Amino acid sequence: MKAIRPAPHLPELLSPAGDMERLKAAIQFGADAVYLAGTNFGMRSAPSNFSPEQLAEAVEFAHSRGVRIYLTTNIIPRNSDVEGLEPFLRMARDAGVDAFIVTDLGVMAAAKRVAPGVEIHISTQTGVANYAAARQIYDMGAKRVVLARELSLEEVATLRAKTPKQLEIECFVHGAMCVSFSGRCLLSNYFTGRDGNHGDCAQPCRWKYALCEETRPGQYLPIMEDGDGTYILNAKDMNMSEHIPELLRAGVDSLKIEGRAKSAYYTAAATNAYRRALDDALAGNPLTPWVTEELDKISHRQYSTGFYFGRPNQNVDLGSYVRDYEVVAVCESYQNGVAVLSQRNRFFRGDTADILEPGKAPYQVRMDHIQNGDGEEIEAANHAVMRVLLYTDTPIAPGALLRVKKDLDS
C-alpha cells in the first residue's frame, strides 16, 4: 500500500542522502525533507544511491515519519539517455516520490507528461539568477526553484518579491562550493574524461597547479599569490548557520544542506545543527552556541558565507579537509548502567567520547571501563564493528554517535 504523502512543511530543512543509512540519519536528526538519487539521471555517481526497490522503501520510511522525498533527475541527458528516461520517471512516480529535481527542459516535459502528480523542482544546475527566469519556470509548471549559489541575499530577496508567492524558493546553506557557476565545470572532463554533470567529478579545482615553460620541460614554477602559491580554484565550504534569520526574512522556503556523497555522520551532525539553528530562528531566539561548534566537528574545508553577502573571500589556502573528530562507535542500547556499542574506529580505555544525539546538545562521557562482548576487560576496541560494553551512569540513547577528538600531534 502506498504511503500517504505528507503536506509540505515550510520553512523546510532539506538534507542529503546517498544511501539508506544516510537517509535514516537525516530523518532521525530532524530533516523535514530528504533529496536523493536513483541509479540513473542523478548528479552523484559516487554514492551507492537507491535501486527501485530501495527507493520505494525509502519513500515508505520517510512518509511514515512525515518527511518528504525529492528525487534528483538533474543531469543534462545526452541522446543515449533519453530512451530510458520515461520508464525511470514512471518507476519513481509509482514509488511515491514527492518531487523531481530537474535541470533539462526535456526531462521537465517528460516528468509533467508521465507523472503529473509529482512536483517539479528546478535544480541549481539550471542557473536561475533572476526573477524573470523564475517567473517563466513557474509558468511552465515548476513548484520550486533551487537558486544559483552565486546570488547575494539582497538578490534572493528581490527575486522573492517579484515572483508568485506560490513558487517556493530553495537555497543552499551548507557544504561544498564549486568555482564554476552553479557547478557548470568542464575541468574534470578535460583532464580525466570523468563527467562532472553525471556525478563523476574528479575535483581538479582542488589540485595544486604550477607553470611549465615549454623550452624547460620538467621545471615547474609555482603560480604565486603568497609564499605557498595561489589557490584561486579552491573554494571554501559554505556555512550559513549563523544567518538563518536573514535567509528567512529574504523569503527562502527551503534550506538545503549539500553532501549526498558524504558520510552518515556528516548527514547526522549537519542536520542536527541546522535543525536547531532553524528552530532557534523560528522561535526568535539567538543561535544556540553548540551549533557552530558542531559544524566544526564534521569534515569540512575552511568556511565562508559564499556569495550571500557580496563578493566572497572564498578561496582557501589548502585543498585538504579539516577532520578533527572521528566517529568511534554507535550506541545500540543502554540499560542498567551499561551502553552496548558497535565499534566504528579504534578507541581506547580512558578516551573521552563526545556524544551526538538527535535534538540534544552534545555531551561528553569518559570511557574508563570498557569490555568486549564476552565481558572481558579491554584496553582498546581494535576490531571493526566489534561489540563493546561501556559502563557509565550517563544514559546514552540508541542510535547516538560517539566521537573522539583526534590527537593531531601524534
For 72-95, give the DSSP string: EE-S---HHHHTTHHHHHHHHHHH
- Does one domain contain both 285 and 338? no
Contact 353, 344 (CB under 8 A): no
pLDDT of residue 340: 98
Structural domain contains residue 100: yes
Q: What confidence score (pLDDT) does residue 318 get?
A: 58
Helix (H, G, I), strand (E, B) or coil at 153: helix
Query: Residue 228: inside a domain, yes or no?
Result: no
Residues 396 and 331 grouped into a single domain: yes
Is residue 52 domain-shared with residue 171, that is, in the same domain?
Answer: yes
Residues 165 and 264 in one domain: yes
Residue 389 sits in the same domain as residue 248: no
Nine-digit cell at 368?
574508563
Are 399 and 261 within one domain? no
Task: Say if 161 falls within a structural domain.
Answer: yes
Instruction: Please indicate, yes or no, whether residues 50 and 162 belong to a single structural domain of this protein.
Output: yes
Same domain, 248 and 351: no
Q: For the domain that residue 174 is a member of, what is the CATH number?
A: 3.20.20.70
Would you tell me how many other CB atoms lie within 10 Å of the CB of residue 128? 23
The two beta strands, 119-122 and 168-175, are unpaired
Place of cell 541549481: 124
Range of the domain at 336: 325-405
Same domain, 268 and 383: no
pLDDT of residue 159: 98
What is the number of residues in the chain? 410
Residue 262 falls inside a structural domain: yes
- Under 8 Å between Cβ of 353 and 330: no
Residue 212 lies in a domain: no
Q: What angle do CA 402, 403, 406 make, to 5 degrees?
A: 155
Burial label, 377 (beta-carbon count in 10 A; 0-12, 13-18, 19+): exposed
Within-domain flag for 2: no
pLDDT given for residue 301 in this prediction: 85
DSSP sequence for 297-309 = SSSB--EE-TTTT
287 and 342 inside one domain? no
- In order along its 410 residues, the chain shows pLDDT tens digits of 355 566 778 999 999 999 999 999 999 999 999 999 998 775 555 457 899 999 999 999 999 999 999 999 988 888 998 999 999 999 999 999 999 999 999 999 999 999 999 999 999 999 999 999 999 999 999 999 999 999 999 999 999 999 999 999 999 999 988 776 666 676 777 678 777 666 677 777 767 777 777 888 887 765 655 545 455 667 788 999 999 999 999 999 999 999 998 999 999 999 999 999 999 999 999 999 999 999 999 988 889 999 999 876 666 655 567 888 999 999 999 999 999 999 999 999 999 999 999 889 999 999 999 999 999 999 999 998 999 999 999 999 999 999 999 875 54
CB contact at 8 A, 138 and 130 = no
| Of the candidates 118, 65, 108, the residue with the CA atom closest to the CA atom of residue 85 | 108
- Give the CATH number for residue 343: 2.40.30.10
| CB 364, CB 353: distance < 8 Å | yes
Residue 169 makes CB contacts below 8 A (sequence gap 6+) with: 144, 145, 147, 156, 159, 160, 163, 251, 252, 253, 254
Do 244 and 369 have their domain in common? Answer: no
Residue 173 CB-density burial (10 A; 0-12 exposed, 13-18 middle, 19+ buried): buried
What's the predicted TM-score (pTM) here?
Answer: 0.88
Type and span of the H or E element at 155: helix 153-161
The DSSP output letter for 219 is -
As for how many domains the chain has, the answer is 2
| 190 within some domain | no
* Residue keyed to cell 578533527: 324
| C-alpha cell read off for 69 | 522525498
Q: Are 58 and 35 in contact (CB under 8 A)?
A: no
Does residue 146 lie in a domain region?
yes
Residue 282: how many other CB atoms lie within 10 Å: 12
**359 plus 284 within the same structural domain:** no
